[in-house]
């Protein structure tokens, strides 16, 4: 899985025997073996897991420290045959100080020691009574179990095969300060942060803790793995709940159940390549790079995962939480952007071609919203329905009813005769059903809209969506062109949800119209119908399922994933819907169409950006129009 950027990380909350490092070492060893069985590559324990965080003045006794070293030796021996990196919380003596440390081990070796920097000494915490801060260190080396080991708060553990897998460590309070060490860890290359913690439970604290973790993971664009002490710590005054969380760029991937008596293991696969790519594209992130005195330890992170432990949304552009709230926000962004443009143009009229399809319906509903915001009369919305050779009675009637129901100005212009004349003028056989036959109709419609806009002093509102732009499924200087585009960053899978949301919040008569529009097959209706007035030209039959294309587009542009990786995660995501052969077929279609269509995107009109993916050549996507893509397709053929 490392070739795709995935590694499995885990947390262990051991069933603690307070003040008994040997018994704790035996239990931790058992849990490391359990983690290894579940193919975990890196696993951590809570802070001071070998002794217990609440050992208090026992930390002043040599016996506890010696027993801790003995416990570490037991873990090293028990796990030396396992290809797993373990991070153990324990006290370590260095010079004349006792440090609260994370000891990183693998295959019987100690790879490095990271001491805690910020020691809480307020309210219920008294760490400065027993420990010194890493700030007080005067050496980078310590002797531990007859080994000379690197000790520093500034260690980056880098995988030998790929530096995208780089991790670093901070301990408990280090996270809660104004400038956590993980800020610098990440700026210097760590994509994964491990936090060994002992955070007691108070009413409301858990939500605060989770918010803090989410924010730190998001602002550092990192995976953040947090592991805290369990309930077998002393309860003289405090209770520890054993809270464990795995975050990735601000998103909670997995959490455990708190207040468990038994030892427990939590694990999840994280995507380091996604984090690495996100940082590269964020110029603010890289410009704030601070090169402090970091030590590099090269490590071998195992690659034993056979089945990926994470899922992907089938429809990544569609909101999954607070769905209606987010759909409402999207419509507000679209309509408010149009309002701003109309105000600049002195409240000009809007001209739109309506076909009875979902794209033009969404654009129409956005205009209605904009006019409502401006307290404008809907009569200043000029809707033009332009039936042609392939227009079905169903879409024709829906277009008429939609316009009449909202009280706009409706014009009907049949384009058939004009197209036949044009075919004759250029010498195209009227029985030819090639691409020219189709594009003549699209350009005729656009010409009509532009000329009407000139007549009424208005602007043409585009109806094309993000998916069509990505695939080049639009006629150059036809439906490709408008004077302002409100759907340009709305993919086809999201268009459907937005129109459905509008339908659900409409009165009954409008609801029925929108329901029928949503049930109509997606088609440009440029080829003649059959004898029963059925649409025979169905878009997805020729270019492929929009569900797949939107999935490909999202992971290509949002996270810069390779097509090999996109194919891999698409297989996992759509395994119940499409065969691997179908997924590969349509991915190859996507690659070719996406790169060949750049010349169209280089000439698109202004349009508002709504989500994280846009194809505007002025802001988000700058590509040459002559990209070679055959090698990309050839690589897929090898899979």
Tell me how crowded residue 422 is: count the other CB atoms within 10 A of its CB.
Answer: 16
Q: How many residues does the chain have?
A: 639
Candidates 478, 159, 206; CA nearest to 303 is 159
Specify burial of residue 432 (Cβ count, 10 A radius: 0-12, 13-18, 19+).
exposed
Helix (H) or strand (E) holding 110: strand 109-115
| 39, 47, 255, 444: the active-site residue | 47
411 is catalytic: no
Residue 37 a catalytic site member: no
Write the CB contacts of 99 (distance below 8 Å, at least 6 apart in sequence): 91, 92, 93, 115, 116, 131, 132, 134, 137, 151
- Measured distance CA(544)–CA(527) in Å, rounded: 18
Distances (CA, A) of 263 to 61, 213, 342: 27, 23, 63
CA angle 266, 269, 274 (to 5 degrees): 140
**What distance, in Å, lies between the first and last C-alpha atoms of the chain?**
15
- Please list, in sequence order, all residues whose beta carbon lies within 8 angstroms of the beta carbon of residue 613, skipping any fewer than 6 positions away: 317, 466, 489, 491, 553, 554, 557, 558, 620
- Who's near 291: CB < 8 A, 6+ residues apart? 188
Are the CB atoms for 604 and 486 separated by under 8 Å?
Answer: no
Give the active site residue among 172, 383, 419, 502. Answer: 172
Q: Say if strands 6-13 and 264-271 run parallel, antiparallel, or are unpaired.
A: antiparallel
The residue annotated as part of the active site, out of 116, 254, 565, 600, is 116
List, in sequence order, every residue forming a beta bridge with 225; answer none if it has no partner. 194, 246
Question: What whole-number distance in Å separates Cα of residue 175 and Cα of residue 155?
Answer: 16
Closest CA to 313 of 140, 188, 176, 491: 491
Q: What is the Cα–Cα distance from 260 to 254, expressed in whole angstroms?
A: 16
Q: What is the dihedral of CA 624, 629, 635, 639, to 10 degrees?
A: 110
* Closest to 615 in 3D by CA, of 626, 628, 604: 604
Q: Render 24-85 in DSSP notation, one character per residue.
A: HHHHHHHHHHHHHHTT-SEEE--TTTTT-GGGGGGGGSHHHHHHHHHHHHHHHHHHTTS--E
Q: Is 47 a catalytic residue?
A: yes
Measured distance CA(595)–CA(583) in Å, rounded? 18
Which residues are designated catalytic? Answer: 47, 116, 172
């Amino acid at each position: 899985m490392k070739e795709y950027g995935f590694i499995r990380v885990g947390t262990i909350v051991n069933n603690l025997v307070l003040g008994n490092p040997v018994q704790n070492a035996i239990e931790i060893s058992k849990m490391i073996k359990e983690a290894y069985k579940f193919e975990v590559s890196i696993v951590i324990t809570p802070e001071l897991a070998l002794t217990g965080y609440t050992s208090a003045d026992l930390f002043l006794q040599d016996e506890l420290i010696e027993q801790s070293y003995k416990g570490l030796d037991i873990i090293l021996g028990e796990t030396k045959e396992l290809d797993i990196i373990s991070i153990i919380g324990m006290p370590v003596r260095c010079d004349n100080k006792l440090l609260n440390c994370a000891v990183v081990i693998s295959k019987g070796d100690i790879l490095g020691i990271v001491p805690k920097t910020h020691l809480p000494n307020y309210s219920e915490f008294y760490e400065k009574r027993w420990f010194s801060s890493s700030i007080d260190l005067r050496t980078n080396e310590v002797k531990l179990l007859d080994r000379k080991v690197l000790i520093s708060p500034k260690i980056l553990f880098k995988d030998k095969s790929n530096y995208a897998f780089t991790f670093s460590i901070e301990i408990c309070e280090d996270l809660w300060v104004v400038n956590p060490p993980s800020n610098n860890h990440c700026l210097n290359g760590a994509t994964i942060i491990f936090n060994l913690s002992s955070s007691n439970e108070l009413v409301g604290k858990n939500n605060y803790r989770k918010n803090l973790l989410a924010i730190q993971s998001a602002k550092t664009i990192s995976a953040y793995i947090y592991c805290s002490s369990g309930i077998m710590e002393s309860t003289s005054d405090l209770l520890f709940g054993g809270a464990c969380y795995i975050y990735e760029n601000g998103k909670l991937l997995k959490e455990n159940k708190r207040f468990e008596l038994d030892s427990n293991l939590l694990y999840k696969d994280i995507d380091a390549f996604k984090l690495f790519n996100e940082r590269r594209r964020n110029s603010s992130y890289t410009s704030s790079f601070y090169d402090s005195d970091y030590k590099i330890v090269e490590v071998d992170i195992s690659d034993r995962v056979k089945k990926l432990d994470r899922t992907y949304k089938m429809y990544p552009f569609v909101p999954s939480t607070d769905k209606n709230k987010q759909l409402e926000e999207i419509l507000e962004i679209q309509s408010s952007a149009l309002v701003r443009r109309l105000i600049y143009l002195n409240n000009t009229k809007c001209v739109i071609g309506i076909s009875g399809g979902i794209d033009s319906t969404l654009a129409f509903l956005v205009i209605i919203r904009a006019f409502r915001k401006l307290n404008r009369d809907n009569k200043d919305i000029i809707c033009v329905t332009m039936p042609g050779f392939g227009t079905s009675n169903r879409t024709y009637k829906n277009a008429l009813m939609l316009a009449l129901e909202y009280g706009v100005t409706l014009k009907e212009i049949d384009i058939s005769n004009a197209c036949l004349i044009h075919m004759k003028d250029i010498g195209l056989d009227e029985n030819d059903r090639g691409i020219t036959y189709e594009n003549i109709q699209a350009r005729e419609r656009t010409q009509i809209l532009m000329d009407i806009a000139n007549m009424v002093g208005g602007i043409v509102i585009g109806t094309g969506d993000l998916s069509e732009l990505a695939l080049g499924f639009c006629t150059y200087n036809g439906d490709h062109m408008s004077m302002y585009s409100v759907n340009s960053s709305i993919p086809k899978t999201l268009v459907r949800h937005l129109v459905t949301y509008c339908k659900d919040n409409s009165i009954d008569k409008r609801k029925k119209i929108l329901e029928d529009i949503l049930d109509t097959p997606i088609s440009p209706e440029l080829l003649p119908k059959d004898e029963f007035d059925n649409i025979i030209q169905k878009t997805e039959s020729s270019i492929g399922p929009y569900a797949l294309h939107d999935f490909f587009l999202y992971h290509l542009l949002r996270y810069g994933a390779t097509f090999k990786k996109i194919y891999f995660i698409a297989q996992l995501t759509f395994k119940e819907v499409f065969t691997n052969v179908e997924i590969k077929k349509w991915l190859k279609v996507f690659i070719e169409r996406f790169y060949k269509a750049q010349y169209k995107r280089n000439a698109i009109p202004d349009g508002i950006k709504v989500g994280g993916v846009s194809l505007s050549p002025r802001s988000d996507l700058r590509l040459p129009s002559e990209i070679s893509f055959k090698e990309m397709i050839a690589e897929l053929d090898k899979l």
